[in-house]
Amino acid sequence: MSTTYTLRKSRNVLIACNNWYKKNNTALPPNQLASLEADLQQLDKAIVAGDREAADPIAKRIELFSEKHIKRSAFNYISELFLALLFALIIAVVVRQMWFELYEIPTGSMRPTFKEKDHLTVTKTTFGLNIPVSTDHFYFDPNLVERGGIVIFSGDGLAMRDTETTYFGIFPYTKRYIKRLIGKPGDSLYFYGGQIYGVDKEGKPIEELLNNPWLEKIEHIPFLTFANDISSTNGQQVIFRLMNKPIGRLTLPRHGTTTGEIFNGKEWVIDSATAQKTPHNTLQAYSDFLGMGNYAMARLLTKNELLTQSQLDQKEIPDAPLYLELSHNPTLAQPQLQKFYETRNPDYLLSTSKSYIPMQQKHLDALMDNMYTARFVVENGRAARYDVTGTQFGNTNPEFKGVPDGTYEFYYGKAYQVGFGGITTLLGPDHPLNSKDPQNTAKLYNLGIQLHTIFSPSAKNQNQFPNRYAYFRDGDLYLMGAPVLEKGDPVLKGYLEKETARETTSSATQPYIAFKDAGAPLKDGQVDKDSVRTFGVTVPDKQYLVLGDNHAMSGDSRLFGMVPEANLQGTPSLIIWPPGSRWGCPAQKAYPFLSLPRLIVWGTAALIALIWAIIYRRNLKTSIFKKR
């Protein structure tokens, strides 16, 4: 049963056939011409009168006539299709660049806020009016940018690899990225205890980074490795960068002693390994910058591995299931360079101090209760980090015997299996991944981010650490974002006593800096703005500092530096897939809905829709023959 044509469709039939009639009426026999003219006139009257029922059979009759007698050329078909596609493409580009867009998350850099294969809606009107297929704005309001909010930005001009792509496979285009905005122009920021202390350009404390409920479970670490980004000059100098700015250099002469220097904001000065033992108001050591000395890289060792990695005597080592190895306070003063396992660029590891903590079963249980990993795939007893473009397996992937094939992840101590479309299912306590056996805990902790056997502590003086970090906060030692060793714990007390004694008795030629709680940058209970500005990083004018929520596997401002204002393109508004507890608005303070950019775009869209509706309704009431 055929449906009744709408007045709009009937009018389209009328216009199409009438256009053909005006050009080709002499080609018809008199009887067909008269019949067609009558039908056209009747259909026009029915449409103007708003009589849908009367217009329907006439429109269908004219349509049958058109199918039989109106033959369009291949050129007409192609030109109409081209114009339709071009118009649709232009509208799609403008809408997606200036109004809203759908995104799919490709990596785990924003876990747990966003996970791989999450689908989001993104609004492009949060801060301003974007110029389509460009990295700039018609209009931008910096007052709309909020610390702690999540932003979409262009990689244009940033020190990043593989940023170029095409839009719809046609227009050259720079990829967009998603991170959390931490610093605004003029902000000075400093890392302590997994948190960020800061002052704005007027010297006022930045409260929203410390008291933000959305950041309560998000750790902030000032580096990925102690030597984030390295470059060399003819093999004679090695430059170390953090926040994409040079902070240290080593001069490697062909003959003589290697020298290490740091940049204190004014000039290069000799790195002092003992600088942190005395108060100072200028950078004097590599680990001073950004509070790097407040953090350690960590891994778990068995007793045999500890004996291999350290110079400790077996009699000095108390019995424990596992031992926490802490690598801390990197220095340029006594460099011992070691090439890192990724060799695209000349990456080096600096010499660091090492200390060890015996971990009892209660500490290991606390680690498992807070375990997080990257999303990983197990196949034939081996595991590899998940990649949306295709997970690759090789000899460097660790073994996970007894774990069924599948895709898995840990977050906040809970293990999940990942199914279709990223939908997760909680694993039962009897699943082998949930085992609290020390061997399983060490494996997940040491390999849970990179999933690479290079981090297995198997050789002497092996300094490649996984991206696992330790830090003090208010006297407690945090691992996995949780106070695993609290300040009253006898094990922690014993460790700190040994650290203090070791530091006190160390020599000037071989100084040792203890890893202990340096304290937050506070003075009289308030953020010490002088300390934060001296040892932190200050965001330049019209630039922004962004960090990934997953500090362990995020390429962000720690590597490529600040994001220019022009690169900010919008914000995520909704998680629309997969269903679950994260469905809906993302973990951030809602941006203002009634802002000038939103009003302009929504108002323009409403105005266009209104004009179209008026023209459409007017055309339905107007005879096409009066326009001839």
Look at residues 459, 485, 505 and tell me which one is the last residue of a structural domain.
505
pLDDT digits (tens, 9 = 90+) for 285-343: 899 999 999 999 999 999 998 988 887 878 888 999 999 999 999 988 876 666 555 44
Query: Per-residue confidence at 397, pLDDT binned at 50, 70, 90?
Result: confident
Nearest-angstrom CA–CA distance, 177 and 151? 8
Query: Per-residue confidence at 461, pLDDT binned at 50, 70, 90?
Result: low
pLDDT recorded at residue 73: 66
Look at residues 450, 472, 505 and tell me which one is the last residue of a structural domain.
505
Q: With 60 as the cut, is the pLDDT of residue 1 above it?
A: no
DSSP 48: H
| DSSP symbols for 331-362 | -SSS---EE-S--SS--EEPP-EEEEEEE-HH
Q: What is the mean pLDDT of residues 186-205?
A: 96
pLDDT digits (tens, 9 = 90+) for 589-621: 888 888 899 999 999 989 999 998 888 788 777
Sign, CA dihedral 428-430-433-434, equals positive
Buried b (16+ CB within 10 A) or exposed e, 302-316: bbebbbebbeeeeee
Q: Which of these ranges, 20-29, 108-117, 432-441, has the smallest mean pLDDT?
A: 20-29
**Is 426 a domain residue?**
yes
**Is 110 a domain residue?**
no
Q: 329 with 513: CB under 8 angstroms?
A: yes
Q: Which of these ranges, 12-26, 101-115, 146-160, has the smallest mean pLDDT?
A: 12-26
Buried b (16+ CB within 10 A) or exposed e, 262-299: bbbeeeeeebbbbbbeeeeeebbbbbbbbbbbbbbbbb
Structure tokens at 270: 């000799």
What is this structure's pTM?
Answer: 0.88
| DSSP symbols for 287-332 | GGGGGGGGEEEEEEE-HHHHHHHS---GGGS---SEEEEEEE---S
Query: Per-residue confidence at 382, pLDDT binned at 50, 70, 90?
Result: very high
Q: Which helix (H) or strand (E) holds 139?
A: strand 137-140
Residues 255, 394: one domain?
Answer: yes
**Is 44 a domain residue?**
yes
Q: What is the mean pLDDT of residues 66-87?
A: 77
**Is 216 a domain residue?**
no
Q: What is the mean pLDDT of residues 61-85?
A: 78
Q: With 50 as the cut, is the pLDDT of residue 414 above it?
A: yes
Q: 542 with 565: CB under 8 angstroms?
A: yes
Nearest-angstrom CA–CA distance, 294 and 472? 7
Q: What is the mean pLDDT of residues 508-520?
A: 89
Residues 494, 621: one domain?
Answer: no
Query: Per-residue confidence at 345, pLDDT binned at 50, 70, 90?
Result: very low
Query: What is the number of domains present in the chain?
Result: 2
Q: Which of these ranges, 164-173, 376-385, 435-444, 573-582, has the smallest mean pLDDT?
A: 164-173
Structure tokens at 204: 């006022």
Q: 243 with 558: CB under 8 angstroms?
A: yes
Torsion-angle region of residue 525: left (phi > 0), alpha (psi -120 to 50) or beta? Answer: left
**Is 577 a domain residue?**
no
Residues 618, 483: one domain?
Answer: no
| DSSP symbols for 2-41 | PPPPPHHHHHHHHHHHHHHHHHHGGGS-HHHHHHHHHHHH
User: Which of 5-14, 486-495, 607-616 is the most confident on average?
Assistant: 486-495
Q: Which of 355, 367, 347 is nearest to 296 (CA)?
A: 355
pLDDT digits (tens, 9 = 90+) for 348-375: 667 888 999 999 999 999 999 999 999 9
Nearest-angstrom CA–CA distance, 595 and 252? 55
Name the maximum alpha-carbon separation found in the chain.
115
**Is 391 a domain residue?**
yes
**Is 449 a domain residue?**
yes
Look at residues 484, 505, 526 and tell me which one is the last residue of a structural domain.
505
Q: 568 with 151: CB under 8 angstroms?
A: yes
Domain, as residue range, for 30: 7-71+607-627
**Is 599 a domain residue?**
no
Q: With 90 as the cut, is the pLDDT of residue 452 above it?
A: no
Nearest-angstrom CA–CA distance, 333 and 83? 67
Which has more pLDDT, 327 or 274? 327
